Amino acid sequence: MIAELSMYLDNDNYSRIVFFTGAGMSAECGIPTYRGSGGIWDSYKWQNYACQRAFESNPEEVLDFHELRRIEVEKCKPHIGHYIIADIQKRKLNTWIITQNIDGMHQKAKSKNIIELHGSLWEMRCENDRKCFTDAKRPKYSSRKCECGSWLRPNIIWFEDNLDQGLLNKTNDVVSKSDLFISVGTSGLVFPAAGIPQIAKASGALCIEINPEKTTVSNAYDIKIRKPASEGLKDLIKEW
């Protein structure tokens, strides 16, 4: 199996590679997924913590929740799978990461060409001033309020938010040109991100899914690796 899979990366047939990562990619770092057993939404109601309406009615509580997540994420380190992807990017320069994760774990592993479809826990924005910035202080916020006096909110996609159209366009462009599409640890339940594997499939890319569990979009994949992210990614490279 290892020799078979590493072939995809070792030959020159594949040069435009996309890794599409979700919460399962970070699970082995100790960051909980949203869904499934032990998922965050088992313990917290998203209606109270992860939507604009909650933020407007109780900004401090919503900011506390996300600050706690920043503190927990800051303690975590990338696992071998993140480093494998970063290493592949060094060998295959036209390799992109499209992530639904907001934790910055790919950046910690020194990856490049990253599209953060759902934003970043480490960025804050002011709706009033229309400004967005990476928070220099971490893990706690440098400030909860903008100079204009408005509350700052994490620059992430909450329930009922729309994705950034520019990022979606860039994603469509990269995925439709890919020849090898590898999804790691995503449930395929969150749209529009869940439609991305179909774009890769329609463009003729070889599609590989790494996930210990079957997902609603598993049928779109040519090869399924039913392993955790680190193990599945090890299968993709030779003699790691």
CB 218 within 8 A of CB 186: no
- Shortest CB 70 distance to ligand NAD, Å: 11
Residues ≥6 apart with Cβ < 8 Å to 201: 181, 207, 220
Quick one: 146 or 228, whose CB is closer to ligand NAD? 228
Residue 239: which region, alpha, beta or left (left: phi > 0; alpha: psi -120 to 50)?
left
Q: How far apart are alpha carbons 90 and 112 in whole angstroms? A: 9
Q: Catalytic residue positions?
A: 118
The Cα 123–Cα 61 span in angstroms is 18
Residue 132 or 190: the one with the smaller Cβ distance to ligand NAD is: 190
Given the complex with ligand NAD, which of 11 and 191 has the nearer CB atom? 191
What is the closest distance, in whole angstroms, from the C-beta atom of residue 129 to ligand NAD in the complex?
25
CB of 232: closest distance to ligand NAD in angstroms?
7
Q: What is the closest distance, in whole angstroms, from the C-beta atom of residue 23 to ligand NAD in the complex?
A: 3
Considering the complex, what minimum distance in angstroms separates the CB of residue 157 from ligand NAD? 7
Which residue of the chain is nearest ligand NAD when measured via CB? 24
The token pair at 34 is 């949203």
| 170 versus 227: smaller Cβ distance to ligand NAD | 227
Applying CB under 6 A, the residues found at the interface with ligand NAD are 22-24, 26-28, 31, 33-36, 39, 100-103, 118, 185-187, 189-190, 211-213, 215, 228-229
Q: What is the DSSP letter of 37?
A: T
With tokens 């919503």, the residue in question is: 62
Separation in Å, CA 217 to CA 42, 141, 176, 211: 23, 37, 18, 11
Who contacts 221 (Cβ-Cβ below 8 Å, separation ≥6)? 183, 197, 207, 208, 209
**Residue 94 per-residue DSSP state:** T
For ligand NAD, give the closer residue by CB, 95 or 120. 120
